[in-house]
Chain A
Amino acid sequence: MSRYTGLSAIFKREFKAYFATPLGYIFLVIFLMASGWLTVARDFGQFLELRQASLVSFFSYLPHIFVVLVPAVAMRLWAEERKTGTVELLFTLPVTLQGSYLGKFLAGWAFLGVALALTFPVVIWVSVLGSPDWGTIVTGYFGSFLLAGAFLSIGMLFSALTKNQVVSFILSVAASVFLLSLGLPQVLEAIGSIAGVGGYLEQLFSALSLIDHFQSLMRGLLELRTVAFFVVLIGGWLGCGMMLLNQLKAS
C-alpha cells in the first residue's frame, strides 16, 4: 500500500467511463469537427496559396477549442460522484485521495490524448501538401497535450468544488479563459502601459502565461523551463483540488 493505492483501478474505470455513454463520442466528434473546420476550412485558401506545409494554424486554434471542451471532459469527474453519492463508496474503498485524484486526472488526460491522436488526418494532409517540419509537429502535439492537461487540472478543481456539473463547467471555462487571456498581446500591451511597474508586470504575466509557453513549443522550441512551467502549473492545480475535495467530499 502506498500513497497512490487505487490509482490504476480508478484510472481504468474512469477511462472506460468516457466510452460507456454517448457523451465521450459526442465530445470526440465535436472536437474533431471544430479543430478540422477551423484549420482546413477557414484557412483552406491560405493553405493552398502559401503551399505552407505546417500545422501552425491548427495548433494555434487548439487553445480556444480546449478552453470550452476540456471543462466538458473535467466537469463530471467529481461533481457526479458527489451528486450520486458514489464518492462515499469510493473513499471507503482502500484507495488514497492522491491515488483516486490522479487516477481520474490521468484518465481524463488519456482521453484528451486520444482526441488529439485522432487529429492525425491533418498531419497526413500537410505531408501531402509538402515536406513539413516534423520537429514542430512533434513539439506542437506535445505542447497541445500539456496544455490540455493544464486545463484539465483546472477543470477538475471546479468539479470538486460543486456537485452541479453545469456550474463546474461554467466556472472552469471562465477560469481557463482568464488564464489564457493573461498572455494575449493586447492584454500584455495594456499592462505594459501602466506607469512605473508596467514593464515588470508585463514580464511577470508573460512568464505566467499559458499561451506564451504553448507558442514556444508550437514553434518547435523544446525547453526545460517550458515543461517545468506546465508540470508546476498542473501539480499546483491538482494539489489545490485535492485539498478542496478532502474538505468538501462529505458535504
Chain B
Amino acid sequence: MEGEVLVDVRNIKKYFGPIKAVDDISFQVRRGEIFGFMGPNGAGKSTAMKIITCFLEQDSGAVRVAGHDTLTESLAVRQKIGYLPESAPAYGEMTVTGFLEFVADARAIADKAAAIDRVVDMTGLENVRYQTVETLSKGFKRRVGLAQALIHDPEVLILDEPTDGLDPNQKALVQDLINRIARNKAIILSTHILDEVERVCNRALIISKGQILVDSTPQELIARADNHNVIKLELAEGDKALAKRIEDQNWCERVIRQTETQWEIVAKDRENHLGEVMDLLEGVAVTSIAVQEGRLEELFREITEGVCA
C-alpha cells in the first residue's frame, strides 16, 4: 500500500476521570486503505474516532489529517473528513433532502443540488427523499448518515460501527457501498463483527482497554489464528502407526486424535502442508480431508481474553 499518509495518529491519550479510554495509540492510514478498527465494547474505538474528527481533544499526543493538525487547524481537518457517528444521529424533523441541504450548506458546497443528487443516488435514497428522517427505518437512517458523510466527497471517511444493528441484507448493502467508494480515500471503520473486517478491510487493528494489541492485515490475522491451516482428516479405520509417522515429520506440531478415526493435524509454522500429508496417506483409506482457514473470531478471543477478563 503506497498511498500518502492521510491520517497520522501519534501517541494519543484520553482520560475520562480515572478511565483510560485511549491509552497511547499510534497508527497511520494511507490513501487506498480500508482500516478496520476492532475491539470489544468500551475498547476506546469511538473515543479515538471522536479525537480524529475534532469532536474531542486528546489529553496528549497529536493527530494530523491530510497534513492538518486537529487541534490547531480543526476546521481544515473537518473539511477533509466525512464522519458517521455511532448510531447515525440526524435531525428527525427534517426531510432527507432538507437534512442533506443543511450539511451541504455547513460545508459550503457550491453546487448543492448536484452534490445531493450524487449521494442520494449512491446510497439509494431516491424513494425517501422527501420523507422526514424520523419516519425512516434503521437501515435507511444509516444510509442517510452515510450520504451526509459522503456529500463533499471527502478524502478521509470515518465510520463508527456503520453496520451495527442492521439486518444481514442491509449489512451487505452498506459493505458493498464502502467497497465501491473506497478507491482514493482513506477509510477507518470500527466494528466488532470480524467477518466484516475480512470482507471489507485491507488492514486491521485490534484495540482493547485503549491500547493497540495488533496492527496487521486481515489475511495475516487469519494466518495467525491457532486453527489456521489445520488439516482435518477422517480415516476409514484407526491407525496409530500412521499418526506417529505424521507426528515425526519435522514440520508437524502434533496430531490431535479426537476419535480413533478423526484427526486434526497442526503444523508448527501454520502453513498449508496438505501435499506432505497426502504423500504419507498413500494407500490409506481416507473418508475425508480438508484444510481449515483460521477465523478472526477465535483470534480475537485469544488476543483480547485476559485483557478484558
Chain A interfacial positions (CB closer than 8 Å to B): 1, 5-6, 8-10, 12-13, 16-17, 20-21, 84-86, 88-89, 91-96, 249-250
Q: Find out whether the CB atom of B106 lies under 8 angstroms from the CB atom of A94.
A: yes
15 more A-B contacts (CB under 8 A) besides A1-B75, A92-B83, A250-B56? A12-B105, A13-B91, A13-B94, A16-B98, A21-B93, A85-B86, A85-B87, A89-B90, A91-B54, A92-B54, A92-B55, A93-B103, A94-B78, A95-B106, A250-B55
Return the chain B residue nearest A10 by Cβ. B106
Q: Find out whether the CB atom of A89 lies under 8 angstroms from the CB atom of B102.
A: no
Return the chain B residue nearest A85 by Cβ. B89
Q: B53 within 8 Å of A by Cβ? A: yes
B242 to nearest A CB, angstroms? 61
Return the chain B residue nearest A9 by Cβ. B105
Bound-state Cα–Cα, A89 to B85, Å = 7
Q: B148 within 8 Å of A by Cβ? A: yes
A88 to nearest B CB, angstroms? 5
Q: Find out whether the CB atom of B54 lies under 8 angstroms from the CB atom of A88.
A: no
Q: Find out whether the CB atom of B102 lies under 8 angstroms from the CB atom of A13.
A: yes
28 A-B residue pairings within 8 Å (CB atoms)? A6-B106, A8-B105, A9-B105, A9-B106, A10-B106, A12-B105, A13-B105, A17-B91, A17-B93, A20-B94, A84-B89, A84-B92, A85-B85, A85-B89, A86-B91, A89-B90, A91-B54, A92-B53, A92-B55, A92-B78, A93-B103, A93-B107, A94-B79, A94-B107, A94-B108, A249-B55, A250-B55, A250-B56
Interface 0/1 of B241-283, CB less than 8 Å to A: 0000000000000000000000000000000000000000000
**Most A-side CB within 10 Å, residue of B56, B75, B148:** B75
Q: Find out whether the CB atom of A94 lies under 8 angstroms from the CB atom of B75.
A: yes
Bound-state Cα–Cα, A237 to B90, Å = 28
Q: B81 within 8 Å of A by Cβ? A: yes
Contact of B102 among A5, A9, A92 (CB under 8 A): A9
Q: Which of B128-151 contact A (CB under 8 A)?
A: 148
Q: B50 within 8 Å of A by Cβ? A: yes
Bound-state Cα–Cα, A95 to B55, Å = 11
Contact of B85 among A10, A88, A96 (CB under 8 A): A88
Bound-state Cα–Cα, A249 to B92, Å = 19
**Most B-side CB within 10 Å, residue of A20, A89, A249:** A89
Bound-state Cα–Cα, A96 to B79, Å = 12
A26 to nearest B CB, angstroms? 14
